[in-house]
A and B are shown apart, each in its own frame.
Chain A
Amino acid sequence: MRYSTALRSGTAAFVLGMVVLGASSVASVKAWADEPVVQEEESDIIKLSPVTPHRILVQDTAGTHAKDGRVYVVDADKGKLLGMVQAAYNGNVVQDPKGRAFYVAETVWSRGNRGDRLDLLPAYDPQTLTITNDEVLPGRALVTPKKNDLAINQDGSRVYIFSMVPTNAVHVIDTATHTVSQTVDLPGCALAYPWGKDGFTSICADGSLANVSLNGSKAEVTHTKPFFDPEKDAVFEHSPTRRSDGKTWFISYSGLVYPTALSSDSKVEAPWSLQEAAGMQKAPAAEAPFAKTWRPGGWQLSALHYASGHMFVLMHEGTFWTHKKAGTEIWELDTATHKLVRRIPLPAPATMVGVTQDEEPLLFTNDNEGDLFIWDMTSGKLLRKMPHLGDDLYFTVALGE
Chain B
Amino acid sequence: MSQSDVSLRHKAPGKKDDMAHSVIDRTIERFTRRVASYSSRRSLLGRVGAWVTFGALIPTLPVERASAAQPAKPKFKAPTPFSANAQTTDATACNYWRYCAIDGFLCASCGGGVHSCPPGTSPSPTSWIGTCFNPGDGQSYLVAYRDCCGQDACSQPMCVGTEGDQPSYRPQANNDIIWCFGTGALIYNCSTSVIVGNAS
A interface residue numbers (CB < 8 A to B): 63-67, 89-90, 107, 109, 113-115, 117, 141-144, 146, 164-165, 189-191, 202-205, 230-231, 234-237, 289-290, 319-325
Of chain A, the residue at the smallest CB distance from B188 is A66
Asked if B177 CB lies within 8 Å of chain A CBs, one says yes
- Please determine whether B178 and A113 come into contact, CB atoms closer than 8 angstroms: no
Convert B164-200 into 0s and 1s, putting 1 for each residue whose CB lies closer than 8 angstroms to a CB of A. 1111111101101110110011111000000000000
Asked if B155 CB lies within 8 Å of chain A CBs, one says yes
Q: Which of B82, B184, B186 has the most CB of A within 10 A?
A: B186
Asked if B150 CB lies within 8 Å of chain A CBs, one says yes
* Dominant SS among interface residues on chain B: loop
Distance to closest chain B CB from A66 (angstroms): 5
Q: Can you give 9 A-B contacts (C-beta < 8 A)?
A: A65-B155, A67-B187, A141-B177, A142-B178, A190-B169, A191-B168, A202-B169, A205-B169, A230-B167
- Please determine whether B153 and A64 come into contact, CB atoms closer than 8 angstroms: yes
A204 neighbours in B (Cβ, 8 Å): 169
B interface residue numbers (CB < 8 A to A): 79-82, 84, 150-153, 155, 158, 160, 162-171, 173-174, 176-178, 180-181, 184-188
Say yes or no: A230-B185 contact (C-beta < 8 A), given A63-B153, A143-B178: no
Say yes or no: A113-B164 contact (C-beta < 8 A), given A63-B153, A141-B177: no
B170 neighbours in A (Cβ, 8 Å): 205, 230, 234
How far apart are the CA atoms of A231 and B164 in the complex, in Å? 7
How far apart are the CA atoms of A189 and B168 in the complex, in Å? 9
Of chain B, the residue at the smallest CB distance from A322 is B162
| B165 CB contact (under 8 Å) in A63, A67, A324 | A324
- Please determine whether B184 and A65 come into contact, CB atoms closer than 8 angstroms: no
Say yes or no: A114-B80 contact (C-beta < 8 A), given A89-B187, A90-B178, A230-B167: no
- Please determine whether B166 and A231 come into contact, CB atoms closer than 8 angstroms: yes
B167 neighbours in A (Cβ, 8 Å): 190, 203, 230, 234-237
Of chain A, the residue at the smallest CB distance from B100 is A321
- Please determine whether B153 and A65 come into contact, CB atoms closer than 8 angstroms: yes
How far apart are the CA atoms of A230 and B153 in the complex, in Å? 29
Of chain A, the residue at the smallest CB distance from B180 is A142
A230 neighbours in B (Cβ, 8 Å): 166-167, 169-170
Distance to closest chain A CB from B70 (angstroms): 24
* A-B interface contact total, Cβ < 8 Å: 101
Distance to closest chain B CB from A319 (angstroms): 4
- Please determine whether B169 and A191 come into contact, CB atoms closer than 8 angstroms: yes
Say yes or no: A114-B168 contact (C-beta < 8 A), given A65-B152, A164-B177, A324-B162: no
- Please determine whether B169 and A114 come into contact, CB atoms closer than 8 angstroms: no
Distance to closest chain B CB from A333 (angstroms): 21
How far apart are the CA atoms of A190 and B177 in the complex, in Å? 12
- Please determine whether B151 and A113 come into contact, CB atoms closer than 8 angstroms: yes
B79 neighbours in A (Cβ, 8 Å): 289
A325 neighbours in B (Cβ, 8 Å): 162
B180 neighbours in A (Cβ, 8 Å): 142
Say yes or no: A109-B185 contact (C-beta < 8 A), given A142-B177, A146-B176, A230-B170: yes
- Please determine whether A113 and B185 come into contact, CB atoms closer than 8 angstroms: yes
Of chain B, the residue at the smallest CB distance from A162 is B168
Say yes or no: A66-B165 contact (C-beta < 8 A), given A114-B184, A141-B177, A144-B176: no
Of chain A, the residue at the smallest CB distance from B177 is A143
Of chain A, the residue at the smallest CB distance from B178 is A142
B82 neighbours in A (Cβ, 8 Å): 321
- Please determine whether A290 and B169 come into contact, CB atoms closer than 8 angstroms: no
A66 neighbours in B (Cβ, 8 Å): 152-153, 187-188
Say yes or no: A203-B178 contact (C-beta < 8 A), given A113-B150, A321-B80: no
Distance to closest chain B CB from A103 (angstroms): 21
Of chain B, the residue at the smallest CB distance from A64 is B155
Distance to closest chain B CB from A231 (angstroms): 7
How far apart are the CA atoms of A146 and B166 in the complex, in Å? 14
8 nearest A-B pairs in the assembled complex, by CB-CB distance:
A142-B178, A190-B169, A64-B155, A144-B176, A203-B169, A319-B81, A114-B185, A143-B177
A323 neighbours in B (Cβ, 8 Å): 162, 165
Of chain A, the residue at the smallest CB distance from B154 is A64
How far apart are the CA atoms of A191 and B167 in the complex, in Å? 10
Of chain A, the residue at the smallest CB distance from B78 is A290
Of chain B, the residue at the smallest CB distance from A318 is B81
Distance to closest chain B CB from A37 (angstroms): 50
How far apart are the CA atoms of A205 and B174 in the complex, in Å? 11
Distance to closest chain B CB from A250 (angstroms): 11
A109 neighbours in B (Cβ, 8 Å): 185, 187
How far apart are the CA atoms of A146 and B178 in the complex, in Å? 13
How far apart are the CA atoms of A90 and B152 in the complex, in Å? 12
Of chain A, the residue at the smallest CB distance from B160 is A324
How far apart are the CA atoms of A230 and B37 in the complex, in Å? 83
B184 neighbours in A (Cβ, 8 Å): 114
Distance to closest chain B CB from A233 (angstroms): 10
How far apart are the CA atoms of A117 and B186 in the complex, in Å? 9
- Please determine whether A237 and B163 come into contact, CB atoms closer than 8 angstroms: no
Distance to closest chain B CB from A265 (angstroms): 20
Q: Which of A89, A113, A115 has the most CB of B within 10 A?
A: A113
Of chain B, the residue at the smallest CB distance from A290 is B81
Known: A142-B177, A146-B176; 20 extra A-B contacts, CB below 8 A, are A65-B153, A66-B152, A113-B152, A114-B150, A114-B185, A115-B185, A141-B168, A142-B186, A189-B169, A190-B167, A190-B169, A190-B171, A205-B169, A230-B170, A231-B173, A234-B170, A290-B80, A321-B80, A321-B81, A321-B162
